[in-house]
């Protein structure tokens, strides 16, 4: 379903706002059934919900609306069009509980508005809903035509252009000119009211909050603190009893992970509990003990017994309320937090906690919800960053309501900063007097624990797992970087041996270091192997292969007796620094240009690139020798997502022929279903091709390269039989005709000859030797001059 929650208020130039207005039923849901307003999407396809509105302005004016969007950030969102569907006036994809306001100027005349909520075919995030709770169109009538009465609960001064809600403890019905104070024994909250609600008798257990001042040194070993009382705000009960006077009480024992300083320290700096020092723990709030060698003391932040916070939320907690709010947000209510009282039909009461983790950890909390059973208009939600974890509307069994005390699952958190958000949500709830007072209409949080934090106390020692090392503080551990490994319970990661590499961080043994492929090498501690020496410009991207093999020469010991053939791809790397060659369209698709088909990009001598030719789902360049792109369809924008096909590379001669014809680069990637991804890129020596570029094979070209006796009549490229790049399951085949696939010249490629010189003196000249390769279009130096010249 889709939801548009709003009260439409049409205004003229000087009159007051009109009452709530029901918009015309112009909802269109292309996949789900047509619906009118309710809560969000329950379909998971490419969907649109459209709200249209037509209006005539008799003078220049504006349209103003207030909205929220709760959806997958960057993909789903709300678009607003005025008069034309070609380009939106406003595009909104926020993931915030705070409401935002938009104002668009309008000329006199007829105008049409479209609000379009779009959802792509990807995953669901948040409630997948857009909400408009206020809409105003200014300029629909002339200034001097007539004035409109304010609705109940609103009032205005003479000459006002708008109505304002009655303040707290005031009301106004249709027969009254102004907002009047509530009669004695009644009250009203922030919501506009046409009548006041009777105040219940004050009850310390329901309407008062007790909190404590800081612990101070005293004769008591743990110190003493003062207990204070105050009425919960907003105060809705009658003054039938007085609050108790402040009284001293003994400070409770410290909680696990903290300790109380010595008596001398208490005299000097107070008796507050403090976290244990780095590398130490306290199991029961007593003296701190050091953890054994090879272990750490991970920090935890625990919030419980909120009465000790002096009626002010801790500094890393914040709260607020959007919609028909009865109170400003979550509040401290004795030892717990609650979501406030008096909220109207549509409201989000949110509580946010900012935490930073020094290592991977988790969050767990105890909570309760007091609301009518089987009432789907109220819900308790929990988010980690942009992802909903508890109470999703898309899973009816997960909507939390009418529970007294429950412990959540442990939700994993990665290292780094996070925003944790709890929301008590009402979506069209029917109000009753006891619900306005807060009974049967609240969420409560009793305890929150976050592990792996950068601050807080430690309650237990923990082992350092394989693939990690302890930090010097001994309060957390961190993952071993790429190119290293550890067996665990250590503060040092060991480097991978020379001629091996560790592509991924967190390796737990030396066996995780992968040997370099043929023709590549690495130094100790490397995260990838390189063709040549990365630090030596002269050798980087150069390599050698045996000049001949037994299959080509018939000599069993040819590789041992024949000098190596050298190649250099450094010019290609220089031509495309930090860029990839391509794209190669898969010829198995329609004309090689099918927008939903695959295309491929090639890095020559490095896995790194930064030109955004092949990005992952998050917009980061895919670090790989070979990258495959596939189209991801979205309701907002179709884009290609890259996948790495080559993490390692090895170099080999073309099977059955000498390296003078070229060579092959074999790339291996991460597993694909049951096999390893494998790509063979055949470099063919072709001086006439110049630089060349990677391309897909054709049946004719493949036969000519691998069978020098094969002949085909000449035909255009379009006339050849295209072969798919993905030749087999997760196996890919490409070719690259290039001058740089030819061997580097050596002295063996020249011969010295004596020629007649001046005055009958002989001098020596050098010239190319005649190639001895079989006749083929790719014979070595076939297109070059036979004479080099020189002395």
pLDDT value, residue 772? 41
Alpha carbon 185 to its chain centroid, in Å, reads: 52
Q: For residue 131, what are the CA distances in angstroms to 38, 69, 103, 415, 589?
A: 10, 6, 16, 33, 42
Q: How far apart are CA 749 and CA 552, in angstroms?
A: 19
Q: Which of 529, 562, 591 is the last residue of a domain?
A: 529
What's the rounded mean pLDDT across residues 537-552?
69
- At 92, the pLDDT band (50, 70, 90 cuts) reads low
Q: Which residue has the higher pLDDT, 528 or 692?
A: 692
What DSSP state is assigned to residue 137?
Answer: E
367 phi/psi in degrees, rounded to 5? -150, 170
Q: Which residue has the higher pLDDT, 371 or 558?
A: 371
420: buried, middle or exposed (CB in 10 Å: 19+, 13-18, 0-12)?
buried
Does 231 map to a domain? Answer: no
Per-residue pLDDT at 743 exceeds 70: yes
% of the chain with per-residue pLDDT over 90: 19
Using CA atoms in the order 29, 32, 38, 40, what is the torsion angle rounded to 10 degrees?
-90
The answer to whether residues 303 and 279 touch, using CB atoms and an 8 Å cutoff, is: no
The answer to whether residues 545 and 535 touch, using CB atoms and an 8 Å cutoff, is: no
pLDDT value, residue 590? 40
pLDDT value, residue 483? 94
Regarding whether 320 and 377 lie in a shared domain, the answer is yes
What's the rounded mean pLDDT across residues 513-520?
86
User: Where are any strands of DSSP class E within 710-790?
Assistant: 726-728, 731-738, 750-756, 762-768
- At 453, the pLDDT band (50, 70, 90 cuts) reads very high
Does 127 map to a domain? Answer: yes
pLDDT value, residue 556? 43
Kindly report whether the peptide bond that precedes residue 583 is cis, defined as omega within 30 degrees of 0. yes
Average the pLDDT over each of 73-77, 151-155, 231-235, 301-305 and give the range with the smallest value. 73-77
What DSSP state is assigned to residue 695?
Answer: E
pLDDT value, residue 34? 29
Per-residue pLDDT at 664 exceeds 50: yes
Does 221 map to a domain? Answer: no
Q: For residue 32, what are the CA distances in angstroms to 43, 114, 756?
A: 7, 19, 92
Does 499 map to a domain? Answer: yes
pLDDT value, residue 361? 93
Regarding whether 573 and 433 lie in a shared domain, the answer is no
Per-residue pLDDT at 438 exceeds 70: no
Secondary structure in 3-state letters for 336-384: EEECCCCCCCEEEEEEEEEEEEEEEEEEEEEEEEECCCCCCCEEEEEEE
What's the rounded mean pLDDT across residues 382-403?
62
Q: For residue 712, what are the CA distances in angstroms to 75, 688, 707, 715, 719?
A: 51, 19, 12, 8, 12
CA-closest candidate to residue 425, choices 392, 381, 386, 393: 381
Per-residue pLDDT at 233 exceeds 50: yes
- At 65, the pLDDT band (50, 70, 90 cuts) reads confident
Q: For residue 633, what are the CA distances in angstroms to 122, 263, 613, 641?
A: 9, 67, 18, 10
Q: Which residue has the higher pLDDT, 315 or 775?
A: 315
Q: Which of 121, 138, 155 is the last residue of a domain?
A: 138
Q: How far apart are CA 225 and CA 230, in angstroms?
A: 17
pLDDT value, residue 109? 92
Regarding whether 453 and 547 lie in a shared domain, the answer is no
Average the pLDDT over each of 565-569, 708-712, 744-748 and give the range with the smallest value. 708-712
Name the pairing type of β-strands 346-370 and 648-652.
Answer: unpaired
Regarding whether 564 and 657 lie in a shared domain, the answer is yes
Domain of residue 62, residue span = 7-138
CB atoms within 10 A of CB 166: 26
What's the rounded mean pLDDT across residues 358-377?
81
Residue 450 corresponds to which tokens in the numbers above? 């976050």
What's the rounded mean pLDDT across residues 151-163?
84
The answer to whether residues 415 and 299 touch, using CB atoms and an 8 Å cutoff, is: no
Select, from the ranges 225-239, 352-366, 435-449, 699-713, the one with the highest average predicted confidence (pLDDT): 352-366
Regarding whether 696 and 628 lie in a shared domain, the answer is yes
550 phi/psi in degrees, rounded to 5? -60, -35
Q: How far apart are CA 246 and CA 527, in angstroms?
A: 65
Query: Hunting for tokens 């506009």 — which residue is that?
Result: 192
Regarding whether 552 and 521 lie in a shared domain, the answer is no
Alpha carbon 716 to its chain centroid, in Å, reads: 47
Query: Hunting for tokens 């219940």 — which residue is that?
Result: 200
Regarding whether 582 and 486 lie in a shared domain, the answer is no
Mean pLDDT, the chain, integer: 76
Strand partners, 59: none
649 phi/psi in degrees, rounded to 5? -135, 140
Regarding whether 522 and 562 lie in a shared domain, the answer is no
Does 703 map to a domain? Answer: yes
267 phi/psi in degrees, rounded to 5? -65, -35
pLDDT value, residue 529? 87
Per-residue pLDDT at 554 exceeds 80: no
Q: How many domains does the chain have?
A: 4
pLDDT value, residue 145? 62
Model pLDDT for residues 21-47, shown as the tens digit of each residue: 333 333 322 233 222 233 343 444 556
pLDDT value, residue 43? 42
What's the rounded mean pLDDT across residues 152-170?
85
CA-closest candidate to residue 445, choices 510, 380, 355, 507: 380
Q: What is the CA radius of gyration of the chain?
A: 37
Model pLDDT for residues 458-516, shown as the tens digit of each residue: 999 999 999 999 988 888 888 999 999 999 988 899 999 999 999 889 999 999 998 88
CA-closest candidate to residue 541, choices 529, 549, 532: 532
Write down how long the chain is.
791
Regarding whether 309 and 430 lie in a shared domain, the answer is yes
Does 440 map to a domain? Answer: yes
Model pLDDT for residues 288-301, shown as the tens digit of each residue: 999 988 789 999 99
pLDDT value, residue 294? 79
DSSP alpha helix (H) spans, 208-320: 263-269
Range 688-691 contact pairs with CB under 8 angstroms and sequence separation of 24 or more? 688/783, 689/737, 689/738, 689/739, 690/738, 690/739, 691/571, 691/572, 691/575, 691/738, 691/739, 691/740
Model pLDDT for residues 1-19, shown as the tens digit of each residue: 233 334 332 223 333 333 3
Regarding whether 493 and 539 lie in a shared domain, the answer is no
Q: Which of 471, 505, 529 is the last residue of a domain?
A: 529
- Give the DSSP H/E element, type plus range, for residue 629: strand 626-632
Q: What is the CATH number of the domain that holds 726?
A: 2.70.130.10
DSSP 306-324: GGGGTTS--TTEEEEEEES
Average the pLDDT over each of 79-88, 149-158, 205-214, 505-514 and give the range with the smallest value. 79-88
Per-residue pLDDT at 98 exceeds 90: no
pLDDT value, residue 417? 94
575 phi/psi in degrees, rounded to 5? -70, -30
Does 556 map to a domain? Answer: yes
Per-residue pLDDT at 732 exceeds 60: yes
Query: Hunting for tokens 């070229």 — which residue is that?
Result: 662
Model pLDDT for residues 635-662, shown as the tens digit of each residue: 445 677 888 898 888 898 888 777 778 9
Per-residue pLDDT at 672 exceeds 90: no
DSSP 458-520: --S-EEPPTTEEE-TTSS-EEEPPTTEE--SS-S-PEEPPTTEE--SS-B-SGGGSEEPPTT-
Select, from the ranges 78-92, 521-535, 561-575, the one with the highest average predicted confidence (pLDDT): 521-535
pLDDT value, residue 410? 92
Alpha carbon 755 to its chain centroid, in Å, reads: 73
Regarding whether 484 and 425 lie in a shared domain, the answer is no
pLDDT value, residue 710? 53
Q: How far apart are CA 153 and CA 167, in angstroms?
A: 9
Does 783 map to a domain? Answer: no
Residue 365 corresponds to which tokens in the numbers above? 């909390």
Regarding whether 592 and 489 lie in a shared domain, the answer is no
Strand partners, 111: 55
- Strand 626-632: give its sheet, edge to edge: 581-585, 599-602, 626-632, 639-644
% of the chain with per-residue pLDDT over 70: 72
């Amino acid at each position: 379903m889709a939801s548009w929650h709003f009260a439409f208020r049409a205004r003229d130039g000087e009159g007051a706002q009109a009452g709530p207005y029901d918009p015309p039923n112009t909802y269109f849901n292309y996949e789900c059934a047509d619906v009118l307003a309710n809560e969000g999407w329950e379909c998971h396809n490419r969907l649109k919900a459209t709200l249209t509105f037509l209006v005539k302005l008799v003078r220049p004016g504006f349209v103003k609306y207030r909205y929220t969007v709760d959806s997958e950030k960057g993909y789903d969102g709300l678009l607003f069009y005025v008069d034309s569907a070609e380009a939106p006036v406003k595009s909104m994809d926020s993931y915030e509980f705070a409401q935002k306001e938009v104002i668009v100027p309008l000329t006199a005349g007829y105008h049409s508005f479209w609000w379009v909520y779009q959802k792509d075919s990807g995953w669901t995030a948040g409630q997948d809903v857009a909400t408009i709770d206020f809409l105003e169109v200014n300029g629909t009538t002339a200034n001097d035509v007539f004035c409109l009465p304010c609705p109940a609960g609103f009032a205005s001064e003479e000459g006002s252009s708008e109505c304002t809600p009655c303040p707290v403890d005031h009301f106004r019905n249709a027969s009254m000119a102004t907002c009047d104070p509530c009669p004695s024994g009644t009250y009203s909250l922030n919501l506009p009211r046409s009548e006041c609600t009777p105040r219940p008798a004050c009850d310390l257990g329901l309407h008062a909050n007790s909190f404590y001042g800081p612990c101070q040194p005293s004769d008591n070993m743990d110190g003493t603190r003062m207990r204070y009382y105050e009425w919960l705000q907003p105060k809705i009960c009658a003054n039938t009893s007085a609050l108790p006077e402040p009284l001293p009480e003994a400070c409770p024992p410290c909680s696990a992970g903290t300790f109380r300083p010595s008596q001398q320290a208490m005299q000097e700096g107070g008796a507050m509990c403090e976290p244990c020092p780095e590398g130490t723990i306290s199991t029961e709030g007593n003296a701190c003990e050091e953890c054994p060698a090879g272990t750490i003391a991970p920090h935890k932040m625990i919030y419980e017994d909120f009465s000790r916070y002096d009626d002010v939320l801790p500094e890393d907690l914040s709260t607020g309320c959007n919609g028909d709010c009865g109170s400003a947000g979550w509040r401290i209510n004795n030892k717990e937090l609650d979501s406030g009282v008096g909220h109207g039909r549509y409201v989000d009461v949110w509580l946010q906690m900012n935490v930073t983790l020094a290592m991977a950890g988790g969050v767990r909390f105890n909570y309760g919800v007091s609301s009518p059973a089987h009432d789907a208009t109220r819900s308790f939600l929990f988010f980690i960053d942009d992802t909903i974890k508890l109470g999703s509307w898309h899973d009816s069994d997960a909507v939390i309501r009418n529970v007294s005390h429950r412990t959540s699952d442990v939700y994993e958190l990665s290292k780094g900063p996070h925003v944790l958000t709890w929301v008590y949500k009402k979506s069209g709830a029917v109000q009753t007097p006891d619900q306005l007072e807060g009974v049967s209409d609240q969420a409560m949080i009793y305890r929150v624990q976050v592990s792996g934090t950068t601050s807080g106390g430690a309650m237990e020692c923990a082992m350092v797992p394989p693939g990690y090392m302890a930090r010097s503080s001994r309060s957390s551990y961190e993952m071993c970087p790429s190119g290293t490994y550890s067996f665990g319970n250590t503060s040092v990661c060991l480097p991978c041996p020379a001629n091996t590499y560790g592509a991924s961080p967190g390796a737990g043994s030396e066996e995780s270091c992968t040997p370099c492929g043929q023709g590549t090498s690495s130094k100790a501690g490397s995260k990838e192997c390189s063709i040549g020496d990365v630090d030596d410009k002269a050798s980087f991207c150069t390599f050698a292969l045996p000049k001949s093999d037994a299959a080509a020469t018939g000599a069993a010991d040819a590789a041992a007796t024949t000098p190596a053939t050298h190649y250099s791809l450094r010019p290609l790397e220089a031509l495309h620094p930090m860029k990839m060659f391509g794209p190669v369209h898969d010829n198995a698709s329609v004309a090689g240009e099918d927008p939903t088909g695959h295309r491929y990009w090639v890095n020559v001598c490095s896995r790194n690139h930064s030109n955004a030719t092949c990005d992952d789902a998050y917009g980061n360049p895919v670090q790989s020798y070979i990258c495959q792109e596939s189209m991801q369809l979205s309701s907002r924008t179709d884009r290609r997502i890259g996948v790495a096909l080559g993490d390692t590379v090895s170099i080999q001669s073309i099977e059955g022929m000498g390296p003078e014809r070229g060579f092959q680069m074999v790339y291996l990637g991460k597993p694909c279903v049951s096999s390893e991804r494998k790509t063979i890129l055949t470099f063919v020596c072709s001086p006439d091709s110049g630089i060349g570029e990677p391309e897909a094979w054709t049946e004719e070209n493949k036969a000519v390269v691998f069978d020098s006796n094969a002949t085909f009549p000449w035909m255009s490229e379009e006339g050849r039989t295209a072969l798919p790049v993905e030749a087999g399951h997760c196996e890919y085949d490409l070719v690259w005709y290039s001058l740089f696939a030819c061997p580097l010249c050596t002295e063996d490629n020249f011969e010295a000859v004596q020629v007649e010189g001046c005055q009958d003196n002989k001098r020596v000249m050098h010239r190319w030797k005649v190639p001895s390769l079989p006749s083929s279009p790719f014979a070595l130096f076939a297109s070059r001059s036979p004479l080099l010249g020189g002395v």
